[in-house]
Amino acid sequence: MSGPDHSQDQPEAVSRRQFIGWGAAAVAGIMIAPGVTLFDLAHGRPAGEAASGKVRWGMLIDTSQCSAGCNDCVTACNTENHLSGGIRETDSQWIRKMELKDQRGGKTHSLPMMCQHCEHPPCVDVCPTGASFKRADGIVLVDRHICIGCRYCMMACPYKARSFVHEEVTGQNPDVPRGKGCVESCTLCAHRIDRDQKPACVEACAAAGRNAIIFGDLNDPQSEISKRIATYATTQVRADLALNTAVRYQGI
């Protein structure tokens, strides 16, 4: 039994497919265009455009919403930045969960600790080559290309936020270049922020239903983070150093 002969239908079929294709493209264009416009209007910025000093990205961590058993922010960070997730003394950990217990009274707290993205970062001060730097929007980063691996920034950081890459790394996220012999730390997911997304840990915390990490623009009085800081008592870790951290904690 042979199938119907479609050879005669071919030209017509192509033109029909073309029509459907053009139609789909047009519909997609109509649907996406407003989104693209919105993207431009929001904080996302095209490649080549410098970060703006008008914003200062920050986080508020509500420790009352953070639970000792939950490690979702750490897992999300490892997944996003393609870290191994290992916890040997030589493994990179950009964010870690710290368990606190008051020596008097025994009150416990659980909280994530990572780069605090200081306004006056000691790591930037001590870096001999300028590889440690602060972006205009307050994000503290390491330039992978001029880091010589001296680890002076690791000596200088009060938060133990930085890791040194002790061995070859494979399977990198193209957005987050890493490399043996260089120092690295939390980038506040700068690559996501530049696409108008929230840092991976913030999303994961929200997905877990906790919303313990509020991310936003500290310079915008209307942002949720600014409103929260204006309303509740918050603390900076090692406030005695007056580094004016972009990461603040509530409830400790």
Q: Is the CB of 182 or the CB of 246 nearer to another protein?
A: 182
Among 90, 81, 114, residue whose Cα is nearest residue 164: 90
CB of 98 to another protein, least distance (A): 4
59 pairs with which residues across the strands?
215, 247
CB of 115 to another protein, least distance (A): 13
Q: Is the CB of 68 or the CB of 207 nearer to another protein?
A: 68
Which H helix or E strand runs over 170?
A: none
Are 133 and 143 a contacting pair, CB within 8 Å? Answer: yes
- Interface positions with another protein (CB under 8 A): 74, 87, 89-93, 96-104, 109, 113, 122, 124-131, 146-152, 154-160, 162-168, 180-183, 237-238, 241, 252
Assigned token pair, 31? 């649907």
Are 194 and 165 a contacting pair, CB within 8 Å? Answer: no
Are 109 and 100 a contacting pair, CB within 8 Å? Answer: yes
DSSP state, residue 204: H
CB of 43 to another protein, least distance (A): 29
Q: Is the CB of 127 or the CB of 200 nearer to another protein?
A: 127
CB of 71 to another protein, least distance (A): 9
Q: Which residues, 6 or more positions from 206, have their beta carbon under 8 angstroms from its beta carbon? A: 213
CB of 21 to another protein, least distance (A): 50
Q: Is the CB of 35 or the CB of 105 nearer to another protein?
A: 105
